[in-house]
Amino acid sequence: MIINFKVNDLSWNASVHQLNSDVLRRHVLINGKLDTLDVNFTYCEQSEKGIITNHNNKEIGHFSIID
């Protein structure tokens, strides 16, 4: 599956074989140019969209399945 990420002012697509927090975290930490390693993810299976938050529970980005 292809995931589209948008974090801060960056956007990219990534191919993943499974959707879990470890896979999401790896892509966000490598490509998102964050100043923290403490990120969390929420995901809605119905809409196939998720939100990325930092340690203060502030939204820093989002992601969605595009294929």
Mean pLDDT, residues 18-22 taken together = 92
pTM: 0.89
Alpha carbons 34 and 38: distance in angstroms, whole number? 9
Is the pLDDT at 60 greater than 90? The verdict is: yes
Alpha-carbon distance of 7 to 11, in angstroms, equals: 6
Give the pLDDT band (50/70/90) at residue 18.
very high
CA distance 8 to 45: 23
